[in-house]
Amino acid sequence: MTNMLDQVFVLLKHRIVGLVPMPVQPILGAVLSVVAILAVFPGLFAISVLLERKGLGRMQNRIGPNRVGPLGVLQPVADGIKALIKEDLVPYSADHVVHFLAPVVLVVVVFMGYAVLPMGRNMTFVPMDAGLLFYFAMGASAELSIFMAGWSSRNKYSLLGAMRAVAQMISYEVPLLLSSVVIVMMTGSLSLDKIVEVQNQYTWGLPHWFVFTPMGFAAFVMFAIAATAETNRSPFDLPEGESELVAGYFTEYSGFKFAEFFLGEYVAMLSISGLGATLFLGGWSAPLEILNVVPSWFWFFAKIMVWICFYIWMRGTFPRLRQDQLMNFAWKFVLPMTLLNLLVAGLWRFMGEGWLRWVVCSAILLAAYVLGGRIGMRSKKFGPRSYRYAE
């Protein structure tokens, strides 16, 4: 029974595909998967927008949207309709073709990333051998569309925002890749399905997630930071820092094209959360052995949503960094830490089983983190201050 529930979507797909003649079957299968992805993730996008607005509201002691539908749950629908019926304005001097293509490319590329994410047991769209590489290739292509958007608008703010966004995404791509490489080293595979399989084991009912190893945890933290920057989320949301750049690269977009950017941004967020969950949090594997009765896809989506909630939480709390600080942080702190993490992962591999490697690896990483943070703060001359008073 639990197995049935677990595989319900797979079986459903097989059943539907079985209805058509043999030669059409692979095409129909692909179409079904694409349709499923195109249906589920925009739905999740709507949910996460609502969660974000409600959650931010609660964090700020507000209620958030509550007028459309019961408790405002239909707000994303209203927003969507509004975006659709809005006039589509294109600046006179804009490069119309590129201006039109930019959001399309973004959305397409972002959705491509989902092809390799294992969303449940046997629920990978294209179980690819080099899945991780594919994912990063798609992520890298998104930068181009952002540049296209910023450049084609012929607006200083747009261009500045796009340049910032692209520079930031390139810089954080490096730590993002390198922190994932740790996982590749530990599993010996670029295939995301394999990575989940390795993590889907239990000792005393506890899972073998990579986040529970020293370098896995460090990589997780670095990955989370880099993923936040990669998706231009607060506190790394300078490309759209409204206090300086109005709205960044999509300043000149309106109506449906703007909605596409918005969708692209959130879908990218969801997909990178999915990747993070797959790499470090065991993908679709249950957090406890006894919880395996719950379908695997539930765990995958639950992990994504937890990750999204964390994004929202951060957005509600932090101010944003400045461009040069962001770059410094990427190149001078995150990158060295990920490189060290690679070394530690190698060390882990060669130290053999036992508690010693836990202690050594954790100690190295912790010391490096504390030291690095201390040095970084000291060299930038910032830190807590004390104040004097005049009577």
Partner 1 sequence: MLGEGLLKGLGETARNFAGSFVSKERLTTVQYPEEREPLPEASRAFPFLVYDGADWEAGLRCVACQICEKECPPKCIYIEKSKDKKPDYVGKPQIYPAKFDIDISVCMSCQICVEVCPFEAIKMDNQFELATDDRFGGLLYDRKELARSNEYYHKIHPTEAAEVDARLAEEKAKAEEKAKAVAAAAAAKAAPAMAAKPAEGAQPQ
Partner 2 sequence: MVIFAILAPLTVAGGLAAVMLRNTVHCALAVAVAFAGLALLFLQLNAQFAGFAQILVYVGAVAILVVFAILLTRSSETPATGVFSKTWLTGLVIAAAVFAVLAWAVLGSRTALPHEQIEPQIAVAQIGYALMGRYVLPLEIVAVLLTASMIGAVIVAMYEKGGAK
Partner 3 sequence: MSESLLEAWNRPPTIEVDGEGELLEVAMGPHHPSTHGVFRMDVVLDGERVIKLKPVFGYLHRNHEQIGQTVGYLQMMPYTDRLDYFCSLTNNWAYALAVEKLVGQAVPERAEYIRVILAELTRIQNHASTIGFLTQEMGASGTPLMYAFREREKILDLFESLTGSRMMCNYMRFGGCRVDMTEAHLNAARKIVTGLPRFIDEFENLLTSNEILMARSQGMGVLKPDLAVNAGITGPMLRASGVNYDIRKVDHYGIYDRFSFRVPLGEHGDIYDRYMVRVLEMRESLKILEQALKDIPAGPFIDPKAKIRGFKPKPGEAYGRIEAPKGELGFYLISDGGTSPYRFRIRPPSFINLTVLEDMCIGQNVADVVVVFGSVDIVLGEVDR
Residues that bind partner 1 (CB under 8 A): 55, 58-63, 66, 313-314, 316-318, 369-370, 372-374, 376-377
Single residue of 94, 123, 190, 281 touching partner 2 by CB under 8 A: 190
DSSP-derived secondary structure for 134-164: HHHHHHHHHHHHHHHHHHHTT-HHHHHHHHH
Contact status: 159 vs partner 2 (CB under 8 A): yes
3-state secondary structure of 61: coil
| Gap between the Cα atoms of 368 and 388, Å rounded | 34
| Gap between the Cα atoms of 319 and 321, Å rounded | 7
Furthest C-alpha separation in the chain: 90
CB 115 within 8 A of CB 126: yes
Single residue of 317, 346, 349, 363 touching partner 3 by CB under 8 A: 317
| Gap between the Cα atoms of 344 and 150, Å rounded | 40
Name residues whose C-beta falls within 8 Å of residue 185's C-beta, 6 or more positions apart in sequence.
342, 345, 346, 349
Nearest to 220 by CA among 274, 182, 270, 269: 182
End-to-end CA gap in the chain: 76
By CB under 8 A, the count of residues binding partner 2 is 28
Single residue of 61, 67, 70, 203 touching partner 3 by CB under 8 A: 61
Question: 139 is in the binding site of which of partner 3, partner 2, partner 1, none (Cβ under 5 to 8 A by kind)?
Answer: partner 2
Residue 66 beta carbon to partner 1: minimum distance, rounded to whole angstroms: 8
Give the Cα-Cα-Cα angle 43, 47, 51 (nearest 5 degrees).
170
Contact status: 140 vs partner 2 (CB under 8 A): yes
Amino acid at 389: Y
Question: 140 is in the binding site of which of partner 3, partner 2, partner 1, none (Cβ under 5 to 8 A by kind)?
Answer: partner 2
Contact status: 309 vs partner 3 (CB under 8 A): no
Site for partner 3 in 147-186 (CB under 8 A): 156
Residue 140 beta carbon to partner 2: minimum distance, rounded to whole angstroms: 2
Single residue of 54, 303, 320, 357 touching partner 3 by CB under 8 A: 320
| Gap between the Cα atoms of 97 and 92, Å rounded | 12
Residue 83 beta carbon to partner 2: minimum distance, rounded to whole angstroms: 26
Residue 116 beta carbon to partner 2: minimum distance, rounded to whole angstroms: 10
Contact status: 139 vs partner 2 (CB under 8 A): yes
Contact status: 58 vs partner 3 (CB under 8 A): no
Which of the ranges 30-38, 51-59, 187-195, 220-228 carries the binding residues for partner 2, by CB under 8 A?
187-195
| Gap between the Cα atoms of 215 and 248, Å rounded | 36
- Cα dihedral 303, 307, 309, 311, rounded to 10, equals -170
What's the DSSP call for residue 333? I
CB 148 within 8 A of CB 105: yes
Question: 234 is in the binding site of which of partner 2, partner 1, partner 3, none (Cβ under 5 to 8 A by kind)?
Answer: partner 3
Residue 284 beta carbon to partner 2: minimum distance, rounded to whole angstroms: 22
Residues that bind partner 2 (CB under 8 A): 95, 98, 128-130, 133-134, 136-141, 143-144, 147-148, 151, 159, 163, 166-167, 170, 173, 188-191
Residues that bind partner 3 (CB under 8 A): 56, 59-62, 156, 234-235, 237-238, 241-244, 246, 315-325, 377, 380-385, 387-391
